[in-house]
Amino acid sequence: MQVTLTIIRYPKKFIYFALLAMAIHRFPLWFNKNISFFKLMGCGKNGTFDKHPDWQQWGILAVNKMPMDDSSIIKEELITQLYGAFIGRWVRLFNCETWTIFLNPIEGHGSWDGKNPFGNISKKTDYNGPIAVLTRATIRLSKLNSFWKNVNGVAKQMAGANGLITSIGIGEMPFIKQATFSIWENKELMKAFAYQMHQHQDVIKKTKKENWYSEDMFVRFIPIHTIGTINGLDPLKKGY
């Protein structure tokens, strides 16, 4: 199994085609026999849960049945190698900037559309190196106001958290199906933010007490390597 997250950034003049891609790219991904699970997602403006979308930036999360050998990766052909010729040609045609991170899932719980796309992984391991975290949820319609009223403060805290390398807000459906992908220097610093920041702890308690989510998932990954840039930079190497 190989998990990849690709962030695709379109030039502003091609925003219409970015929206169109969300409708039509699911077809070549559906028919790609090497892909066992995928999600096409939009991105928030401020790096985490955000009501306001970044219309230029979009994402593909995919689980490939067969990992690629590093020696076989061709940087210029990476999108084609991962997601097929149609999406590869599309990205080149619209002069998109892309950044892809390869991930190894090691810990987690929950489900995504009733599935366990990352296989049978432990709830806890002793790993404490650089770590990537995916937190996603489907918010109950009746709980939308409570959710959005509480998450902005946490998002601002996270942006300045010790040990945070980068975060990207992603989601399948505005307001309702939201996720945050973040990368941390190590698990201890990530846990310090998750479990010691009072506002974040309050939100976790409200989530459970008020039953905000109809479905959620929390997964930790080892970042293997990255290829490409967003806004001219590799987010994994921010600050290094």
Q: Can you say how many angstroms the Cα of residue 64 is from the centroid of all Cα atoms in its chain?
A: 16
Give the pLDDT score at 56.
94
Q: How far apart are CA 88 and CA 86, in angstroms?
A: 5
Q: Is 54 left (phi over 0), alpha (psi -120 to 50) or beta?
A: beta
Q: Is the dihedral of CA 150, 144, 216, 27 positive or negative?
A: negative
- Could you please report the per-residue DSSP string of 162-185? TTEEEEEEEEEETTTEEEEEEEES
Domains (range + CATH), the chain: 2-104+224-229 (3.30.70.100), 107-221 (3.30.70.100)
Q: Which pLDDT tens digit goes with each residue over 17-59?
A: 999 999 999 999 999 999 999 999 999 876 565 667 899 999 9
Buried b (16+ CB within 10 A) or exposed e, 28-48: bbeebeebebbbbbbbbebbb
Give percent above pLDDT 70 in the chain: 89
With cut-offs at 50, 70 and 90, classify the pLDDT of residue 213.
Answer: confident
Averaging pLDDT over each range in 26-30, 128-132, 209-213, which range is the top one?
26-30
Closest to 121 in 3D by CA, of 132, 108, 140? 108
Q: Which pLDDT tens digit goes with each residue over 215-228?
A: 999 999 999 999 99
Query: Are 133 and 190 within 8 A, CB to CB?
Result: yes
What average pLDDT does range 130-143 have in this prediction? 89
Give the pLDDT score at 240.
42
Query: Are 230 and 97 within 8 A, CB to CB?
Result: yes
Choice among 22-36, 93-107, 150-164, 206-220 with the minimum mean pLDDT: 150-164
Compare 169 and 27 and report the one with higher pLDDT.
27
Closest to 161 in 3D by CA, of 194, 121, 123, 208? 194
* pLDDT score of 179 more than 60: yes
